[in-house]
Amino acid sequence: MADQDNEAGILVLGLGRFGGAIAETLVELGHEVLAVDSDQKIVQSYSGRLTHVIEADTTDEEALRQIGAADFDCAVVAIGTHIEASILTTSVLVDLGVETIWAKAISMPHARILERVGATRVVLPEHEMGERVAHLVAGRALNYIEFEDGFALVETKPPRQYVGKKLGEAGIRKAHGVTVVCIKRRGEDFSYATADTVIGADDLLIVAGKTHQAEAFAART
């Protein structure tokens, strides 16, 4: 196995749409990926697209031992629709001593079981995406990422009242409880905001703060 850097090996178990997207993106990011699926046709379809693809029963501890799963520090269990297989696979990885295990869940009960058997991090892609889209639909933010403890990053256009003002003079944090982190001008990359940054009418702002405050600020545009 490679050192845990940009070339580190990552084990991806399950090559449905979710797992396949993760595996291909990891390869694009420069990681060595060992992908495993029990369906021969799926394995064949990814041959040549990923670093290594193997057909194996991910719920079988001996099968995972033989492919060297115990040598990986990080694994992604991307099995969603087959809940029993998802749980058994996660449990096997825990028994093999894999340090970091990301696991996909399709419901909150499924997520709780995965956490109890030892998954390091559980994701509910459809639920999380649904929440994110709902925030975008209900508000005027252009993009939205929520973290734990009700903290969010929101991409938005600047409220008219701040156009032409320097950030240091605008008093946005004091008035709205949010911090302007980055600004993107048309045709340019995002750049860090400073007190001397002048807000333009066509700028895009990345603001950080409590979710309700960040959304309220975006709604003022």
| 74 and 166, same domain (yes or no) | no
pLDDT of residue 90: 97
CA distances to 18, 59, 102, 117, 216 from 44, rounded to whole Å, are: 17, 20, 24, 31, 49
pLDDT of residue 127: 79
| 48 and 149, same domain (yes or no) | no
Instruction: Write down which residue in 123, 151, 169 finishes a domain.
Output: 123
Question: Which comes out higher in pLDDT, residue 26 or 139?
Answer: 26
pLDDT of residue 3: 39
| 104 and 162, same domain (yes or no) | no
| 172 and 210, same domain (yes or no) | yes
| 138 and 76, same domain (yes or no) | no
- Cα angle at 96 between 124 and 126, to 5 degrees? 5
Give every CB contact of residue 134 below 8 A, 6+ residues apart in sequence. Answer: none
| 156 and 198, same domain (yes or no) | yes
pLDDT of residue 220: 80
Based on the number of CB atoms within 10 Å of its own CB, is 171 exposed (0-12), middle (13-18) or buried (19 or more)?
exposed
Instruction: Write down which residue in 82, 98, 123 finishes a domain.
Output: 123
pLDDT of residue 32: 92
pLDDT of residue 6: 37
| 13 and 109, same domain (yes or no) | yes
Instruction: Write down which residue in 123, 158, 180 finishes a domain.
Output: 123
**CA dist., res. 114 & res. 38, Å (int):** 20
Confidence check: pLDDT of 7 > 70: no
Residue 177 falls within a domain, yes or no? Answer: yes
Range of the domain at 155: 128-218
CATH number reported for the structural domain that contains residue 177 in this entry: 3.30.70.1450
Closest Cα partner for 22 from 56, 57, 48, 46?
A: 46
pLDDT of residue 140: 72
> For the segment 38-53, what is each residue's pLDDT rounded down to a tens digit?
999 999 999 888 889 9
pLDDT band for position 8 (50/70/90)? low
Confidence check: pLDDT of 23 > 70: yes
Cα distance between the two ends of the chain: 51
Confidence check: pLDDT of 137 > 80: no
> For the segment 143-186, what is each residue's pLDDT rounded down to a tens digit?
878 787 788 899 999 999 999 999 999 999 999 999 999 999 98
**Window from 66-70, 89-93, 112-116, 130-134 with minimum mean pLDDT:** 130-134
Q: What is the dihedral of CA 112, 121, 125, 145, to 10 degrees?
A: 120
Confidence check: pLDDT of 4 > 70: no
pLDDT of residue 1: 36
pTM confidence score: 0.71
Place of tokens 């499924």: 110
Task: Count how many domains the chain has.
Answer: 2
Place of tokens 């809940």: 83
3-state secondary structure the chain: CCCCCCCCEEEEECCCHHHHHHHHHHHHCCCEEEEEECCHHHHHHHCCCCCEEEECCCCCHHHHHHCCHHHCCEEEECCCCCHHHHHHHHHHHHHHCCCEEEEECCCHHHHHHHHHHCCCEEECHHHHHHHHHHHHHHCCCCEEEECHHHEEEEEECCCHHHCCCEHHHHCHHHHHCCEEEEEECCCCCEEECCCCCECCCCCEEEEEEEHHHHHHHHCCC
pLDDT band for position 215 (50/70/90)? confident
